[in-house]
Amino acid sequence: MKLTIEREELLRGLGRVQAIVERRGTMPILANVLLEARDEGITLAATDLEVAVVARHPAKVKTAGSVTLGAKKLYEIVRELEHGEVALAADDARVTVTCGPAKFNLLSTSPEEYPSVPGSDSASFAQLDTALVAELIDHTLYATSTDETRYNLNGVFVESADGKRVRFVATDGYRISLIERAVPNPVAFLGKGIIVPRKGISEIRKLCDESEGALEIGAADGFLHVRRPDLLLTTRLIDGEFPNYRQILPKSHRIRLLVERERVLHAVRRIALMAHERSRGFRFVLADGQLDLSASNPDLGEARELVPVEYQGERFETAFNARYVLDVLGAMTAKEVAIELSEELSPAQIRPADDADESAVIMPMRL
């Protein structure tokens, strides 16, 4: 293998695979990136056996071939190079990287040992706008569970009831985030719903930032495929039963409070500075036309902030985890949100005041 490639192009490809390669796994080869040089350019591939990416990059190929190199070290080297073009040349078990006066000789591994990346030939695809996909992810990813024993909650549930609308749902057992949007093209493969793991969803979100227009998304044989002309991202789907979130969504409410999202967001953020480090709990009290937010910590002291609201009912008191409330308010973009409350120990629902297709449910806590 012998080729030259623009430094910025190689750096962009190597940067994309850094979060995918497995550095501490039982298979050392998974810490490598696979480079394949062909007439039309170079292909970079990486996988951790759950998420994989294959991307083509323009390059001047003199001799075709393939090799695998440590992804992290190669990225660090290319990042520090100063000239515009990088030359790669493979010879036996070594690869020479040359850029201006700098020259590196790296040990390589046979590409035959590298795991194969699942193909997308059997998948049926639908086009979704990158801005739409980014919005759906931003409003749900934060609510996925990080508890590996609850594997069916370690991702985002994606479904489409009629093929014309797509719904993203995430929960960790303490909160639920849900958003639904109309799509211009039918998404038939989402009829029964799929669970996309947190890491796969995160990588799809990154693609939305570096792509314009639309992404092609399809599913087959337990994998979700996301592609554009120069790239294919594949993630293994979670094989499990997503909980019936509809049973948890509040059917009614006794109090509906309209508040300015930014004002409450910053108030809770300030109050949270004095909340207990472990519980992150704060009191949420409604009385006499104001929202009374407070938190106390026996080792630090207390904090209290009053927010004027339109409320003239009986005193209502509950408590929430500050991080959960901040995540919800931070993910939403509406100027005004509605907080819907029923009983002091019943779930609260937060939704944009002008959007019935987006909501979040938070379980209260005892203080």
Co-location of 54 and 129 in the same domain: no
Co-location of 215 and 274 in the same domain: no
Question: Is the pLDDT score of 131 beyond 90?
Answer: yes
Which burial class, exposed, middle or buried, applies to 106 when counting CB atoms under 10 A from its CB (0-12, 13-18, 19+)? Answer: middle
For the chain, give the percent of residues with pLDDT over 90.
83
Co-location of 49 and 83 in the same domain: yes
- How far apart CA 9 and CA 59 sit, in angstroms, is 9
Of 159-163, 182-186, 193-197, 238-242, give the lowest mean pLDDT range.
159-163
Residue 247, helix vs strand vs coil? helix
Tally of domains within the chain: 3
Question: Is the pLDDT score of 26 beyond 80?
Answer: no
The mean pLDDT value for 225-236 works out to 94
Nearest to 142 by CA among 180, 173, 170, 181: 170
| 241 located within any domain | yes
Co-location of 102 and 213 in the same domain: no
The mean pLDDT value for 317-341 works out to 96
Question: Is the pLDDT score of 24 beyond 80?
Answer: no
| 118 located within any domain | no
At which of 220, 246, 272 does a domain end?
A: 246
Co-location of 108 and 143 in the same domain: no
CATH number at residue 88: 3.10.150.10
The mean pLDDT value for 64-70 works out to 95
| 254 located within any domain | yes
Question: Is the pLDDT score of 238 beyond 80?
Answer: yes
Residue 20: pLDDT band (50, 70, 90) is very high
Question: Is the pLDDT score of 236 beyond 90?
Answer: yes
The mean pLDDT value for 10-19 works out to 95
Question: Is the pLDDT score of 117 beyond 90?
Answer: no
| 184 located within any domain | yes
Residue 120: pLDDT band (50, 70, 90) is confident
Residue 161: pLDDT band (50, 70, 90) is confident
Give the model's pLDDT for residue 164: 84
Q: Tell me the pLDDT tens digit for each residue of 169-221.
A: 999 999 999 999 999 888 888 888 999 999 999 999 999 998 788 999 999 88
| 119 located within any domain | no
If one compares 334 and 189, the residue with the highest pLDDT of the two is: 334
The mean pLDDT value for 31-50 works out to 94
| 34 located within any domain | yes
Residue 262: pLDDT band (50, 70, 90) is very high
Which burial class, exposed, middle or buried, applies to 136 when counting CB atoms under 10 A from its CB (0-12, 13-18, 19+)? Answer: buried
Give the chain's mean pLDDT.
93
At which of 85, 113, 141 does a domain end?
A: 113
- Residues contacting 188, CB < 8 A, separation 6+: 124, 126, 160, 163
Co-location of 236 and 129 in the same domain: yes
Mutual angle of helices 198-210 and 130-138, in 10-degree steps: 140
Co-location of 280 and 336 in the same domain: yes
Give the model's pLDDT for residue 9: 96
Co-location of 322 and 221 in the same domain: no
| 37 located within any domain | yes
Co-location of 160 and 207 in the same domain: yes
- Indicate the DSSP class of residue 332: -
For the chain, give the percent of residues with pLDDT over 70.
100
| 282 located within any domain | yes
Residue 76: pLDDT band (50, 70, 90) is very high
Co-location of 83 and 178 in the same domain: no
Alpha-helical regions (H) of 19-119:
71-80
At which of 246, 275, 300 does a domain end?
A: 246
Question: Is the pLDDT score of 23 beyond 80?
Answer: no
Co-location of 256 and 234 in the same domain: no
Question: Is the pLDDT score of 78 beyond 90?
Answer: yes
Give the model's pLDDT for residue 57: 96
Give the model's pLDDT for residue 357: 94
Residue range of the domain that includes 86: 2-113
Co-location of 257 and 191 in the same domain: no
| Dihedral sign, Cα of residue 22, residue 26, residue 28, residue 33 | negative
